[in-house]
Amino acid sequence: MSALLDTLRAAVGPTHVLAEGDLAAWELDWRKRYRGRALAVVRPGSTAEVAAVVRTCAAHGASLVPQGGNTGLVGGGVPDASGSQILLSLTRLNRVRSIDAANLAMTVEAGCVLQAVQEAAAAQGLLLPLSLAAEGSCTIGGNLATNAGGTQVLRYGNARDLCLGLEVVTAAGEVWEGLSGLRKDNTGYDLRDLFIGSEGTLGVITAATLRLYPQPAARSTALAACASLDDCVALLQLAQARLGAGLTGFEVMNAFSLSLVAKHFPALRQPLSPGPWTVLLEQSDTENEAHARSLFEGLLEAALEAGTITDAAVAESLQQSHELWHLRESIPLAQAEEGLNIKHDIALPVSAIPSFVASTDAALMRAFPGVRLVDFGHLGDGNLHYNVQAPEGHCAAGFLSEREAAVNALVYDAVQAHGGSFSAEHGIGALKREELARRKSPVALGLMRAIKQALDPEGVMNPHRLL
């Protein structure tokens, strides 16, 4: 493989081909479930260099694994254990190429950190609404490769909905330049949508043109306590009826998830008394603070009168709004402090969620007495993070290794019975590849394999992921 490495050094510069030393930052996934071994980490600095790397790997029969911020949750962005794969790190492709305020669009490279792109848009008085807990380290290329969701899908859609065009290096090392900022372009197959969500298995996203929005004139954020999930769904319907497109966030958290936050992060203030369910809701207003507050307070008063909520706390400042969101975003961190857990990123029709949770909670309790259920997520778009923590006092790692398959089968069977999906926003990667093979229809799998064969016939791009 020395010839391969020499050619790669010539393509991107010797300092950007790392073949020795500690490569754990690239070889270990965020959840620490997958640890591979790369032949080398290669860090190109331009689209032309990415294309040269791909051509070189194809010529030497070496597969490659594209990686952005390495914040993925399904093991799709780290190498396997063979020591023969090239880890293609895109973090040096970190330039904002242009912002077109009149077209409400910006073009950025794949290695740009999401938060930096948000800030670049905000500096022009514009909004990039994609927002994730990992936004300080995840990158745009990874967001698009996994079709990331986040907290504002209810109003603005997934990453796919926020992308107007792409630049992609194909498995043959050619560059497809599709960075148009057009809203309408019916000129054949939508190649953009082929690559979004493909998890690096069809090509390497090197840049994207993103859809922007005007900054809202005002935002209102509140916590509301609900006695049941049915009440949470009723509150969602009321909020949609009263706020319309102004409703930009609707998150739900069960009592145990917030108790973990209180246990592991006691400095975080929780303004409502513990209850069965807590909703975090946010609206954006195009008029002014007074109008926003009037709408929001009217909604909460109506919900209190109807008995849909039992209590509420409205943020009085931007700082308090951040504190409410920090509670929600601290749940995954609190889970990690509590110990390894069995994670499920599922999507269901909103109307089916109360029935699913009630029946599946009960089934898990019967099958695995003492398990603790961490239910939270984006109720507004039907995406729950339905996680199972080991019983109190049990070895978390042992429970994960011994019970994960059985727990997954129970949960995913219930999801399927309720008309849902076992993967809402995290993707498939290595973790859910076999689940996809079991649960996707043969026709759908056949079409996916045909696309993979057509675009990557030699299997260069991120093999053994997704399919």
In this prediction, residues 307-329 reach a mean pLDDT of 93
- Residue-number span of the structural domain to which 309 is assigned: 218-332
Burial of 362 (0-12, 13-18, 19+ CB in 10 A): exposed
Q: Let me know whether 210 and 222 are in one domain.
A: no
Instruction: Quick: pLDDT tens for 118-133.
Output: 999 999 999 999 998 8
In this prediction, residues 301-323 reach a mean pLDDT of 94
pLDDT of residue 280: 97
Q: What CATH number is given to the structural domain containing 249?
A: 3.30.70.2190
In terms of Cα–Cα distance, which of 454, 430, 463 is closest to 75? 430
pLDDT of residue 297: 87
Q: What CATH number is given to the structural domain containing 385?
A: 3.30.70.2740
**Residue 1 clears pLDDT 80, i.e. is over it:** no
Rg (CA), the chain: 23
Q: Let me know whether 119 and 189 are in one domain.
A: yes
In this prediction, residues 432-444 reach a mean pLDDT of 95
In terms of Cα–Cα distance, which of 385, 317, 316 is closest to 345? 385
**Residue 308 clears pLDDT 80, i.e. is over it:** yes
**Got the DSSP string for 93-156?**
---EEEEETTTTEEEEETT-BHHHHHHHHHTTTEE-----TTTTT-BHHHHHHTT---TTHHHH
- 449-462 as b/e, with b when 16 or more CB fall inside 10 Å? eeebeebbeeebbb
Q: Let me know whether 256 and 305 are in one domain.
A: yes
Boundary of a domain, candidates 89, 116, 144:
89
Q: Let me know whether 102 and 205 are in one domain.
A: yes
pLDDT of residue 293: 82
pLDDT of residue 38: 95
Does the pTM of the predicted model rise above 0.75?
Answer: yes
Task: Say if 441 falls within a structural domain.
Answer: yes
pLDDT of residue 186: 92
Task: Say if 466 falls within a structural domain.
Answer: no
Q: Let me know whether 278 and 303 are in one domain.
A: yes
pLDDT of residue 164: 98
Find out whether 349 and 340 touch, Cβ atoms under 8 Å.
no
Tell me, rounded to whole angstroms, the distance of Cα 301 from its chain centroid: 33
DSSP 63: -
Q: What CATH number is given to the structural domain containing 60?
A: 3.30.43.10
**Cα 167 from Cα 113, distance rounded (Å):** 17
**Bridge-partner residues for 208, per DSSP?**
108, 166
pLDDT of residue 3: 92
Q: Let me know whether 187 and 100 are in one domain.
A: yes
Task: Say if 179 falls within a structural domain.
Answer: yes
Q: Let me know whether 114 and 201 are in one domain.
A: yes
Lowest-pLDDT choice from 165-169, 286-290, 349-353, 382-386: 286-290
Boundary of a domain, candidates 286, 312, 332:
332
In this prediction, residues 425-450 reach a mean pLDDT of 95
- Helix or strand run (H / E) with residue 384: strand 383-389
Q: Let me know whether 237 and 166 are in one domain.
A: no
Backbone angles phi, psi at 334, to 5 degrees: -65, -40
In this prediction, residues 307-325 reach a mean pLDDT of 93
Instruction: Quick: pLDDT tens for 183-218.
Output: 999 999 999 999 999 999 999 999 999 999 999 988
In this prediction, residues 417-428 reach a mean pLDDT of 94
Task: Say if 465 falls within a structural domain.
Answer: no
Task: Say if 105 falls within a structural domain.
Answer: yes
In this prediction, residues 318-332 reach a mean pLDDT of 93
Task: Say if 411 falls within a structural domain.
Answer: yes
Instruction: Quick: pLDDT tens for 18-52.
Output: 999 899 999 999 888 889 999 999 999 999 999 99
The tally of domains found in the chain comes to 5
Task: Say if 106 falls within a structural domain.
Answer: yes
Q: Let me know whether 100 and 52 are in one domain.
A: no
**Residue 292 clears pLDDT 90, i.e. is over it:** no
Q: Let me know whether 169 and 207 are in one domain.
A: yes
**Cα 63 from Cα 191, distance rounded (Å):** 23
Q: Let me know whether 225 and 199 are in one domain.
A: no
pLDDT of residue 318: 86
**Cα 134 from Cα 329, distance rounded (Å):** 9
Instruction: Give Cβ neighbours of residue 267 (< 8 Å, ≥ 6 apart).
Output: none
Q: Let me know whether 101 and 119 are in one domain.
A: yes
Boundary of a domain, candidates 39, 73, 89:
89
Task: Say if 463 falls within a structural domain.
Answer: no
Between 348 and 21, residue with greater pLDDT: 348
**Residue 290 clears pLDDT 90, i.e. is over it:** no
**Residue 294 clears pLDDT 90, i.e. is over it:** no
